[in-house]
Structure 1
Amino acid sequence: MPLQLLTSPPPPPAPDELPPPISSSAILSLSLSRSSSSQCIYFIFATSDDRILLGPVFCRRLLSFCGKQALISLSDKSDLAFLGKGLQDLGYTIVSTGGTASALEKAGVSVVKVEEVTKFPEMLDGRVKTLHPSIHGGILARRDHNHHMEALEKHGISTFDIVVVNLYPFYEKVTSTGGVSFEDGIENIDIGGPTMIRAAAKNHKDVLVVVDHKDYPELLQFLQGKQDGEQFRRKLAWKAFQHVAAYDSAVSEWLWRQSDIYPQIWENPHQKASVYADDSLSVVNAGGIATAIQHHGKEMSYNNYLDADAAWNCVSEFRSPTCVVVKHTNPCGVASRADILEAYRLAVRADPVSAFGGIVAFNTEVDEDLAREIREFRSPTDGETRMFYEIVVAPGYTEKGLEVLRGKSKTLRILEAKKVEKGMLSLRQVGGGWLAQESDDLVPEEIDFKLRDAEFAWLCVKHVKSNAIVIAKNNCMLGMGSGQPNRLESLRIAFRKAGQEAQGAALASDAFFPFAWKDAVEEACESGIGVIAEPGGSIRDQDAIDCCNKYGVSLLFTNVRHFRH
């Protein structure tokens, strides 16, 4: 039954006197009174036998006995009166803090202030209000665990069924016109709020957690039995953790910006940037460039991270010893050989002009011999200039290998990375939100290639920006065309890079050819290509088949598209 506030409490008895047992069936009415002198709460029972006044020692027990409690602490008080009155009408006792309690009382809603539950006043200029076992015990206790409930009973703690909290407007405060001082920003970092939200969200099986005033009507409908229970609770918990995560991210970014120490990791000089590792991954699964160990060299830049990531992802596709050279996230040289030194030389020779200043990645350990080859290799364009690289990435290095590479340049970044596990999400930001999709993880075993060069070219083209064409022979990329608005232009660039070596080679396209005759397919056939691998799916696939048959070129439909934007 709801509590009724008495404006004129009777003189309180000795507060610690234990009253005689009262059965719930004997209670005729229940009212609540607050002493103006002691700021204590008293509960008055009217039973079939007598009226009994309970002092503050028994407040929490009675609240628990009477049933339903909601804890409300809000910065954004939109629709607070609507919520408070709705909960009160449903029989909830409302426990609240500071300004929220005042706003509820002003709206005519009876409130128990949080310090009357904790028996401890606000302190440290409001920094400590709800950080107390009487609050968090009541939120976190699992109702179906007897020892949890016994612990609450032992310590006189009552349970909370609903927690409604939103956080200090930190982002709005620190981004307001004129900004705020560092001290004001720090004071706007909420501590108690996120703690209550996380506790309630963790225990969402027993506690409803609400962080958005738009959910108040749905909450009241749920409490009236008009909503599906489990899914509603999970939805609220999900929103709660999102709310806290966004808040923590805003605080982290603000503190970083206040540090005046910006890593030199911009894409362009006028931009500032940072890098974040995904700490949600286990140590075993935390592969990739963000968690790579840097053994040597300058600080990584924004562009370095992107290029190194592209190189590492590409080289990780191959099972044979492989070297990949990347420039501006596109592989400009790829080669697989039993001898990794030969693979390195071939990868660089595929496009030595682009390779200069690029990123070199290996899927094998870098030993002393390979390190010396990297250090001393001359550019194939003039035979004299030592090749310069921004980064070398590999799964490991021998002690001697590291020593030799460190001697190549003070700035050369040497990264040791773990292979990224498959099945990860791919995220891209767009204006106002994010795009998420499964990563492009299809393995070659799922496609019957029959021709080795076609498989190699297909693995390479997967990592080239669309529209993408790759020409390969003998497990070596010969030419690549990328990023063109039309597929024909990408094809012409790839053939120009490959030169005469394109005769009898394999060509892979990341998407189908919309036209065949007098277009990309026929031009490839006339240039002497031996096999074409493409996804298929065009309404003109038959034209591509007829064209390849005319020129005696093998055509393989992979049924897998590899767009990369």
Structure 2
Amino acid sequence: DYPEFLRRVKEERVDLEYKKYLALKAFEFVTEYDALIAKTLKRRFQLDTERLFLSLKKGPPLRYGENPHQKGWVYINQDEKGTFLRTIKKLWGKELSYNNILDAYSAWKLLLELNSPACVIVKHNNPCGVAEGKTILEAYEKALEGDPVSAFGGIVALSEEVNPELAFELNNIFLEIVMAPSFPDEVLSILKKKKNRRLLIIPLKKGRGKLEFRWVDGDFLVEEEDSAILDRETLRIVSGELTEKLLKELVFAYKVVKHVRSNAIVVAKDKGTLGIGAGQMNRVQAVKIALENAGKKAEGAVLASDGFFPFTDSIELAHQYGIKAIIQPGGSVRDEEVINKARELNITMVLTGIRHFRH
């Protein structure tokens, strides 16, 4: 503002409207500084008060909001230095859209929970293909195979540097965004052939646990992010036997289902998703969708549920498709019926005690 201010003073153009602008900006700076002092003392003294201060600054422009008729903006939190939007770097492509940011963030959060090499494909804020592999190419191919139809126009997040072989595979499908920790020059020359695709460099480390906010007509719901981790010692094996290999398969599926809109079901095998049922109003419908998407591949696979099973119908349906193990939080008044049905059908069942609803 100083060059503009000096120019106006020199030209005697410091009118009332400009004074209003400067006054408002001055009060914003003072307010932000006072809030910073309060937040620093709160953190230093480890005291909890009834007020929460946010310092937000308008960031890069968005073409529009969730839909073209809606305006959209990004506001950057000045109190957090290592956020997703502050640490990503766009190497190629158009500006990120509102939906791009939501989907990219969703893919990144899930990717950080997986063992590398790993790949996450997201569409409409839900994972549609997720896999771990021996190589990053294998992880991508397994993730894509999980739902190649939904992957079209989606976002791919990769845990390792993109190599030329993978780059050529990525060019075989339309993708909005490809995200990875690095892109060598030879890979960029391949991927840049798709002019409408964005290429993002992403960090593979997340900052400290954060709060999550939901706007409710001018007010906010605030909660801790869902960072619960499964503990082998607290798992309850209520049906069948649990081998170490089977446990790893179940843990993988449970990591994925945590990031799917509720009611959520994930069918997986060999650390790759085969079918995902997302956002259904009843659980058995989510089970049907996931199993139908998996088809015959569901034979010998595992199934993860973000919430408990209220009835035995989902267990019976899983058995029809050959599911060998189920992981779920438990907690239903009909848990005993559900467990007995799993025992009757020789399905291994593990209760976690941790629900993963996502709305």
Matched, 1:349 2:145: yes
User: Comparing 538-547 with 398-407, which one deviates more in the overlay?
Assistant: 398-407
SS at match of 1:189: helix
> Which residue is equivalent to 1:411?
196
SS at match of 2:24: coil
- Higher normalized contact order (CA 8 Å, seq sep 6+, divided by chain length): 2
Give per-residue Cα distances to partners, 1:393-423, cap 9 Å, x unaligned. 112222322232122x112100111132351
Separation in 2, partners of 1:290, 1:202: 23
User: Comparing 436-445 with 474-483, which one deviates more in the overlay?
Assistant: 436-445
After TM superposition, list the pairs within 5 Å mapping 1:199-218 onto structure 2.
Answer: 202=37
> Which residue is equivalent to 2:209?
423
Give per-residue Cα distances to partners, 1:8-31, cap 9 Å, x unaligned. xxxxxxxxxxxxxxxxxxxxxxxx
> Aligned-pair RMSD on alpha carbons?
3.0
Task: Pick from 150, 165, 168 the counterpart of residue 369 of structure 1.
Answer: 165
Task: Pick from 302, 327, 330 the counterpart of residue 533 of structure 1.
Answer: 327
1:346 positional shift:
1.6
- Work out whether residues 266 and 304 of structure 2, in 8 Å CA contact, stay in contact via their aligned partners in 1: yes
Separation in 1, partners of 2:136, 2:85: 22
Separation in 2, partners of 1:193, 1:473: 54
- Work out whether residues 136 and 159 of structure 2, in 8 Å CA contact, stay in contact via their aligned partners in 1: no
Shift in CA distance, 272/184, structure 1 to aligned 2, threshold 3 Å: farther
> Which residue is equivalent to 1:521?
315
After TM superposition, list the pairs within 5 Å mapping 1:23-422 onto structure 2.
Answer: 183=18, 186=21, 189=24, 191=26, 195=30, 198=33, 202=37, 242=53, 263-282=62-81, 286-375=82-171, 386-407=172-193, 409-418=194-203, 419-422=205-208
Task: Pick from 459, 471, 496 the counterpart of residue 292 of structure 2.
Answer: 496
Separation in 1, partners of 2:27, 2:291: 64
Task: Pick from 248, 251, 259 the counterpart of residue 455 of structure 1.
Answer: 251
Separation in 2, partners of 1:309, 1:194: 30
> Which residue is equivalent to 2:277?
481
**Structure 2: any 5+ residue segments left out of the alignment?**
1-8, 10-15, 40-44, 236-241
Separation in 2, partners of 1:312, 1:524: 30
Task: Pick from 283, 291, 303 the counterpart of residue 507 of structure 1.
Answer: 303
Shift in CA distance, 184/546, structure 1 to aligned 2, threshold 3 Å: same
- Work out whether residues 230 and 352 of structure 2, in 8 Å CA contact, stay in contact via their aligned partners in 1: no
Regions of 4+ moved over 6 Å: none
Matched, 1:470 2:266: yes
Task: State percent identity of aligned pairs.
Answer: 41
1:432 positional shift:
2.4
Separation in 2, partners of 1:534, 1:203: 43
Give per-residue Cα distances to partners, 1:201-227, cap 9 Å, x unaligned. 8499xxxxxxxxxxxxxxxxxxxxxxx
SS at match of 1:414: strand
1:484 positional shift:
0.6
Shift in CA distance, 189/456, structure 1 to aligned 2, threshold 3 Å: same
Separation in 2, partners of 1:563, 1:438: 13
**TM-score, length-scaled by structure 1:** 0.54
Alignment-mate amino acid for residue 271 of structure 1: Q
**Structure 1: any 5+ residue segments left out of the alignment?**
1-123, 125-180, 205-229, 376-385
> Which residue is equivalent to 2:13?
none
Shift in CA distance, 528/203, structure 1 to aligned 2, threshold 3 Å: closer
Separation in 2, partners of 1:390, 1:420: 23
SS at match of 1:512: coil
Shift in CA distance, 351/290, structure 1 to aligned 2, threshold 3 Å: farther
Separation in 2, partners of 1:183, 1:306: 37
Alignment-mate amino acid for residue 62 of structure 2: P
